[in-house]
């Protein structure tokens, strides 16, 4: 159980992020979640969390902004009394073949998907070190482990998250803080919703479990990594992809 813990979840208003918020809330955690700009989805998620009877608050923030994320962490700390669990889930894509990818296509994805995670870890680490306890979970991707045509920017950012995860695990481990990553495969989210159903059906043929994953499949693994049961697991990348990249 996560009673008495506060989780800060980026990209928490929909998809995998929403599922993570709800799963942690079911285990008793208070939830501070970050969204980029979709007020409607943020309000929906906040309503769901309120129905579960936990303390919850939504914060609008650009995770790529170093100063803004510093203020975010200060605000959450004041509002909730501290942060115990950090879930770096915020991410976006801008797919193009590398020969057609612009500088901004590359820089913007790195800024959100990789630098955003660094920003939040940087600003929460002092509080976690004082507590001598904490859990950090970064949401990477199969693309970061295997590469993916048309996603040089996204794959590079997600591969960077793997290196960031392992380094933070080594730096903070002596203070009882774990840092792990979860690598989703094909999951039904807004990102995969732009693909036509035939593409998804074709993908299923290559997945040993023969189905596209659901956001809850990721959320349950994140919840485990946040629990006391995962206290001796750190620096790991757990693939949750139905066996696609085994």
Which residues are catalytically annotated?
154
As to burial, measured by CB atoms within 10 angstroms (0-12 exposed, 13-18 middle, 19+ buried), residue 242 is buried
Give the strand order in the sheet containing 237-240. Answer: 56-60, 30-35, 6-10, 85-88, 134-139, 177-184, 237-240
SS3 for the chain, per residue? CCCCCEEEEECCCCHHHHHHHHHHHHCCCEEEEEECCCHHHHHHHHHHHHHCCCCEEEEECCCCCHHHHHHHHHHHHHHHCCCCEEEECCCCCCCECHHHCCHHHHHHHHHHHHHHHHHHHHHHHHHHHHHCCEEEEEECCHHHHHCCCCEHHHHHHHHHHHHHHHHHHHHHHHHCEEEEEEEECCECCHHHHCCCHHHHHHHHHHCCCCCCECHHHHHHHHHHHHCHHHCCCCCCEEEECCCCCC
């Amino acid at each position: 159980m996560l009673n008495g813990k506060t989780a800060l979840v980026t990209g928490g208003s929909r998809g995998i992020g929403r599922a993570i918020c709800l799963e942690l809330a079911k285990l008793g955690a208070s939830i501070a979640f970050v969204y980029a700009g979709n007020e409607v989805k943020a309000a929906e998620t906040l309503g769901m969390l309120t129905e579960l009877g936990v303390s919850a608050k939504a914060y609008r923030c650009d995770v790529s902004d170093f100063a803004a994320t510093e203020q975010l962490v200060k605000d959450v700390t004041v509002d909730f009394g501290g942060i115990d669990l950090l879930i770096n889930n915020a991410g976006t894509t801008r797919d193009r073949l590398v020969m057609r990818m612009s500088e901004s296509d590359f820089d913007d994805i790195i800024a959100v998907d990789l630098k955003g995670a660094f920003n939040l870890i940087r600003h929460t680490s002092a509080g976690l070190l004082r507590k001598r306890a904490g859990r950090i979970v970064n949401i990477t991707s199969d693309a970061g482990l295997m590469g993916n045509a048309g996603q040089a920017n996204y794959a590079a950012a997600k591969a960077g998250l793997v290196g960031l995860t392992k380094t933070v695990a080594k730096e903070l481990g002596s203070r009882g803080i774990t840092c792990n990553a979860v690598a989703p495969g094909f999951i039904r989210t807004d990102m995969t919703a732009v693909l036509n159903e035939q593409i998804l059906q074709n993908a299923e043929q290559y997945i040993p479990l023969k189905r596209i994953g659901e956001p809850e499949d990721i959320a349950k693994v994140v919840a485990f990594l946040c629990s006391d049961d995962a206290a001796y697991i750190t620096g790991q990348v757990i693939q949750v992809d139905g066996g696609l990249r085994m």
